[in-house]
């Protein structure tokens, strides 16, 4: 009688453990691998554009580095904080450091993170680049090229906020972001004038305008998209486009 009760108890235990111990010989299901979307090069198109500035051009603000003489001594000339960086091309004023990306239209597609690294460098007591983009899961490489200690602190809201010091001569370190977030403000807790911005998206279709105000999003699958342009002081704008197979579409933004 005791043997029968014991056998039943063992059987119930096996069932309760989800057959993980092999009591029934049934193996647990394997988790399926992520299937990444592959762009068809035969139908992919190109999105290009530029960002204009409509307004009176303002001189850059002087950056006061006297709080740390080591920082001040790294520069022969006065450093300007050109948050609104404008250059002229003929009669047009063009805006740099604008983050442009596909905001909507790719929700049904999953893209493999790029294997390349995106780097942010601390040099001259300044972050460079000022604005950068990165994919979810892509590697961010953080470098300190200065002869003094810095601290990089991305003030993330959706992603995990982190804060790490980096002494002079230290090896670069890497981080990754796990969720999309446009934008993440970056600061240095040691030098309050240092700041940058990181745009994190789930796909490779993003760009930052250079001095000529232009951007390019290549290898885009055909479809209807919302393109957003973000600037740290002038705000956000978006436009909708429809890209035909192997087509080209140009988008022009104008910030005031």
Same domain, 158 and 205: yes
- Asked if residue 83 and residue 4 are part of one domain, the reply reads no
Residue 188: give its domain's CATH number: 2.60.40.420
- Asked whether residue 121 falls in the same domain as residue 222, the answer is yes
How many helices and strands (H and E) does the chain possess? Answer: 2, 20
* Same domain? 108 vs 152: yes
The boundaries of the domain holding residue 14 are 1-30
Residue 4's pLDDT is 53
Give residue-wise pLDDT tens across range 136-191. 999 999 999 999 999 999 999 999 999 999 999 999 999 999 999 999 999 999 99
- Residue 25: pLDDT band (50, 70, 90) is low
Q: Are residues 68 and 192 in the same domain?
A: yes
Encode 8-30: b = buried (16+ Cβ within 10 Å), e = exposed. Answer: eeeeeeeeeeeeeeeeeeeeeee
pLDDT value of residue 61: 87
Q: What is the pLDDT of residues 71-122, one digit of tens each?
A: 999 999 989 988 889 888 766 899 999 999 999 999 999 999 999 999 999 9
- Let me know whether 128 and 22 are in one domain: no
58 in the same domain as 96: yes
The CA-CA-CA angle for residues 86, 90, 93, to 5°, reads: 25
Q: Do 97 and 15 share a structural domain? A: no
Residues 208-243 have pLDDT tens digits of 999 999 999 999 999 999 999 999 999 999 999 999
Number of domains, the chain: 2
- 94 and 146 share a domain? yes
Q: Which residues contact 185 (CB under 8 A, 6 or more apart)?
A: 154, 155, 195, 197
Instruction: Check residue 59 and give its pLDDT.
Output: 79
pTM above 0.95, yes or no: no
**91 and 10 share a domain?**
no
Q: How far is it, in rounded angstroms, from Cα 137 to Cα 139?
A: 7
Residues 25 and 146 in one domain: no
Give the integer Cα–Cα distance in Å for 2 and 12: 15
pLDDT digits (tens, 9 = 90+) for 40-52: 999 999 999 999 9
Decide if 37 is inside a domain.
Answer: no
């Amino acid at each position: 009688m005791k043997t029968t009760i014991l056998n039943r108890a063992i059987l119930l235990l096996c069932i309760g453990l989800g057959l993980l111990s092999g009591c029934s010989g049934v193996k647990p299901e394997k988790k399926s691998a992520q299937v990444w979307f592959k762009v068809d090069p035969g139908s992919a198109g190109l999105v290009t554009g530029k960002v204009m500035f409509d307004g009176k051009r303002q001189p850059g603000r002087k950056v006061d580095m006297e709080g740390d003489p080591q920082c001040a001594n790294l520069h022969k000339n006065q450093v300007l904080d050109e948050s609104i960086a404008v250059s002229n091309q003929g009669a047009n004023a063009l805006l740099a450091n604008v983050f442009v990306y596909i905001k909507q239209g790719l929700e049904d597609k999953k893209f493999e993170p790029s294997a390349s690294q995106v780097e942010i460098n601390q040099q001259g007591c300044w972050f460079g680049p000022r604005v950068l983009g990165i994919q979810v899961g892509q590697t961010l490489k953080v470098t300190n090229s200065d002869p003094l200690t810095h601290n990089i602190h991305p003030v993330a809201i959706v992603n995990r906020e982190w804060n790490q010091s980096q002494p002079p001569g230290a090896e670069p370190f890497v981080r990754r972001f796990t969720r999309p977030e446009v934008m993440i403000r970056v600061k240095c807790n040691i030098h309050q004038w240092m700041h940058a911005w990181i745009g994190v998206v789930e796909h490779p279709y993003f760009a930052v305008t250079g001095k000529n105000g232009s951007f390019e999003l290549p290898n885009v699958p055909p479809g209807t998209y919302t393109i957003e342009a973000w600037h740290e002081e002038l705000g956000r704008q978006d436009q909708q486009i429809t890209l035909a197979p192997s087509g080209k579409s140009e988008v022009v933004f104008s910030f005031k």
